[in-house]
């Protein structure tokens, strides 16, 4: 099938799931009268269906097999049919023209990223081996938890080690790939496009419904325009770092204040300029996510460009559902104060479920939105008892629904570090969960923070200046405060890493992950809030505010026009969606080995391949097959397991198996790690120059050899 046929097949499966779950979606989002939350239906379907099979397969009730996926879909279809039949008696019909528009918007967004990603679809580089390996491990699993592909079984854990990472998003990808029956290396790229289309349409729907509740006597075209702008900011927008387009540039690791280097020619690298004023510095888009030294501050647009299917990317649509549920709860409670507080318990339990989904998908996000809710409860309820009751319901619901995951997940956080700890506290070292580490002191210059977050903070200031002009109705007061809270809480998240950081294994980049995870959510929340500010500016028709908004918007608007071409080129090729194709040119023998394994080897027996560093091409066989190898990317396993020895102690054993002359010792190590197959290819010869294949013929047989004779797979036959 060509790329378009494959994409349409995938899309129609998603369309069917969304249509099936629309009655439930309409019921859950009862106050989203603009569009009845139609775009959320696909995401709710993916979450509920994936969680159902995950829960049942974790309890060993049914296996993760395609026939059972269709059975679960059938059961949910019955539930939605019953909801539809009951709701059909009410006169609350949807605006079908609007739903068709939203479906077209989803389709356009989906096809757009499919086409762009098809220009360079390789599943290679950055975190892609890890993400693809997780998906393939899940696809090979009958029951859960799935096993870690980079830490095989040993004498301590003869059944293997479960993945110690937040992988629920990867499980939703495996669910769709298995359901549709598509090749995983194609499915990987279609998943990315699906998340993008969800992000576009979910942000659109959330903003549109907020505005519609704010003032329902408004032109649909105005709502659509503002909501589309918000979708662009949240999913494609950058930050004010693009001002460096107008400068002579700076060395990547040493940012220079932009006002010091304004130039129309690159004075640092004059060869890059042809004529003064005609050729600008070639703007390097990743710098917008690594601007503050030793930190990370990514946002969705960058994620869609580099195409890692990491937890923070999978969780984009899930956190948008969480935010939508929070907003609806907040709105209903304040508008319908006469409703019994106990009547909100089921809805709070549902929010608790999605907090569990956030946690299992990207662990930071669960606590981020749990804290968001607690602070909101304190303000909304104005009662400590109600706040405690609501928080307890959330927490219990969270614990129950995250239990299948939490039983085998050990967080890789060793404490809360205090940034720039006073010297006398560094002598103490630790006090409860708080760490006081010497020399761990990084403070972000305010001009750098403004470069990253200035667009949103300018909108926050505009909002504070004009919101009182629109507070003559209860709805407006309620929604204005929610927008204020989005801005304020996001700003709070941004400043947390200036004082505290979550301790992990990285020395110089000790606050990088903390800033990354908190800032990512702040970006999404403030993008939604900024779209609402734009709506207020248009309503006020104030030219000064409009000019200020527009001036700063230009810088965030141009980011994707640099980022996508930098990664994908001119986009003039026929799309190729198979992320495995790159192997044909660089490692054709490995591609043949991978295809042989995926076609002929069932379940998850242990293979042995060369061990290499993180972010390298090592561990390509395990990543592309989902079979566990003895030891994978060192730093990754160090982070997940809390010790460098996890992989470090296995490295000599792997070398001994490949290079050792003592056959008995080799056999003992093979038994220790339960190795069933050994890969011998160019990368193995590169890593182990003294490798000899003769002994593998003594303890097994060559069951596959590549057409160029450079790669082979040996099956071990020892008792």
Please give the DSSP secondary-structure letter assigned to residue 98: H
| DSSP bridge partners of 608 | 678
User: What is the spatial distance between Cα 493 and Cα 283, in angstroms, rounded to a whole number?
Assistant: 28
Task: Compute the average pLDDT of residues 451-459.
Answer: 97
How would residue 652 be classed by pLDDT, with cut points 50, 70 and 90?
very high
* 34 in Cβ contact with 112 (< 8 Å): no
More confident residue, 122 or 383: 122
Task: Compute the average pLDDT of residues 614-630.
Answer: 96
Residue 485's H or E segment, with its range, is: helix 474-495
Task: Compute the average pLDDT of residues 61-75.
Answer: 97
- Maximum Cα interatomic distance, the chain, rounded to a whole number of Å: 86
Q: Locate tokens 């999605």: which residue?
A: 354
User: What is the spatial distance between Cα 124 and Cα 455, in angstroms, rounded to a whole number?
Assistant: 33
* 696 in Cβ contact with 678 (< 8 Å): yes
User: What is the reported pLDDT for 180?
Assistant: 96
**DSSP H helix total and E strand total for the chain:** 28, 8
* 571 in Cβ contact with 114 (< 8 Å): no
Q: Tell me the Ramachandran region of residue 174: left when phi exceeds 0, alpha when psi lies from -120 to 50, beta otherwise.
A: alpha
pLDDT per residue over 488-502, tens digit each?
999 999 999 999 999
pLDDT at 272 over 50: no
* 64 in Cβ contact with 57 (< 8 Å): yes
* 167 in Cβ contact with 138 (< 8 Å): yes
Q: What is the pTM of this model?
A: 0.95
Task: Please enumerate, as own/partner, the contacts of 246-252 that have beta carbons within 8 Å and a separation of 24 or more.
Answer: 246/280, 247/281, 248/281, 249/281, 249/282, 249/283, 249/284, 252/284, 252/287, 252/290
Length reported for the chain: 719
Task: Compute the average pLDDT of residues 376-393.
Answer: 91
pLDDT per residue over 550-567, tens digit each?
999 999 999 999 999 999
- Among 182, 157, 168, 159, residue whose Cα is nearest residue 131: 168
pLDDT at 273 over 70: no
């Amino acid at each position: 099938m060509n790329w378009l046929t494959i994409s349409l097949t995938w899309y129609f499966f998603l369309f069917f799931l969304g249509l099936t779950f629309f009655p439930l979606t309409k019921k859950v989002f009862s106050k989203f009268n603009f569009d009845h939350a139609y775009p959320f239906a696909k995401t709710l379907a993916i979450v509920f269906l994936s969680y159902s099979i995950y829960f049942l397969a974790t309890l060993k009730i049914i296996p993760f097999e395609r026939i059972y996926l269709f059975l679960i879909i059938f059961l949910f279809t019955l539930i939605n049919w019953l909801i539809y039949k009951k709701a059909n008696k009410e006169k609350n019909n949807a605006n079908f023209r609007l739903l068709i528009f939203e479906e077209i918007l989803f389709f356009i967004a989906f096809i757009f990223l499919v086409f762009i990603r098809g220009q360079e679809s390789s599943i290679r580089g950055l975190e892609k081996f890890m993400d693809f390996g997780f998906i393939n491990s899940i696809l090979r699993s009958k029951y859960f938890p799935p096993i870690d592909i980079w830490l095989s079984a040993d004498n301590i854990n003869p059944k293997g080690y479960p993945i110690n990472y937040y992988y629920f998003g990867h499980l939703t990808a495996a669910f769709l790939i298995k359901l549709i029956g598509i090749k995983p290396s194609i499915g990987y790229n279609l998943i990315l496009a699906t998340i993008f289309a969800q992000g576009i349409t979910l942000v659109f729907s959330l903003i549109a419904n907020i505005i519609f509740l704010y003032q329902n006597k408004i032109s649909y075209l105005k709502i659509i325009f503002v909501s589309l702008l918000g979708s662009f900011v949240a999913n494609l927008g950058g930050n004010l770092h693009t001002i460096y387009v107008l400068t002579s540039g700076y060395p990547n690791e040493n940012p220079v204040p932009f006002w010091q280097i304004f130039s129309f020619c690159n004075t640092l690298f004059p060869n890059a300029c042809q004529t003064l004023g005609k050729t600008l510095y070639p703007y390097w888009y990743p710098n917008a996510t690594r601007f503050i030294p030793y930190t990370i501050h990514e946002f969705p647009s960058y994620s869609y460009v580099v195409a890692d299917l990491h937890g923070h990317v999978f969780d984009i649509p899930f956190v948008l559902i969480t935010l939508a549920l929070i907003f609806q709860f907040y709105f209903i409670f304040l508008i319908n104060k006469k409703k019994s507080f106990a009547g909100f318990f089921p809805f709070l339990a549902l929010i608790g479920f999605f907090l569990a989904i956030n946690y299992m998908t990207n662990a930071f996000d669960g606590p981020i939105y749990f804290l968001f809710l607690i602070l909101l409860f304190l303000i909304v309820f104005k009662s400590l008892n109600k706040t405690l009751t609501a928080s307890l319901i959330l927490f219990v619901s969270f614990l129950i629904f995250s239990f299948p995951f939490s039983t085998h997940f050990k967080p890789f956080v060793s404490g809360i570090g205090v940034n720039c700890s006073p010297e006398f506290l560094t002598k103490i070292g630790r006090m409860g969960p708080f760490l006081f580490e010497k020399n761990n002191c990084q403070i972000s210059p305010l001009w750098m923070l403004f470069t990253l977050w200035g667009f949103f903070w300018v909108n926050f200031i505009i909002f504070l200046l004009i919101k009182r002009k629109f507070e003559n109705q209860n709805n407006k007061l309620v929604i204005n405060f929610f927008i204020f809270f989005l801005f304020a809480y996001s700003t709070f998240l941004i400043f947390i890493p200036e004082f505290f950081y979550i301790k992990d294994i990285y020395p110089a980049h000790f606050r990088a992950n903390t800033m990354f995870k908190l800032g990512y959510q702040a970006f999404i929340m403030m993008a939604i809030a900024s779209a609402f500010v734009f709506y207020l500016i248009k309503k006020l028709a104030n030219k000064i505010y409009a000019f200020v908004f527009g001036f700063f918007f230009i810088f965030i608007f141009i980011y994707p026009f640099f980022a996508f071409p930098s990664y994908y080129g001119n986009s003039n090729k026929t799309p190729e969606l198979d992320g495995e194709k790159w192997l044909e040119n660089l490692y054709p023998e490995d591609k043949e080995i991978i295809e042989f394994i995926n076609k002929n080897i069932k379940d998850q027996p242990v293979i042995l391949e060369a061990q290499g560093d993180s972010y390298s091409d090592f561990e390509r066989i395990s990543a592309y097959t989902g079979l566990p190898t003895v030891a994978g990317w060192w730093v990754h396993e160090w982070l997940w397991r809390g010790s460098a020895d996890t992989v470090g102690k296995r490295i000599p054993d792997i070398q001994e198996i490949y290079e050792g002359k003592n056959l008995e010792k080799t056999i003992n190590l093979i038994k220790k790690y339960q190795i069933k197959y050994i890969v011998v290819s160019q990368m193995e010869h590169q890593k182990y120059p003294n490798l000899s294949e003769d002994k593998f013929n003594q303890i097994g047989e060559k069951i596959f050899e590549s057409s160029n004779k450079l790669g082979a797979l040996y099956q071990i036959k020892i008792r």
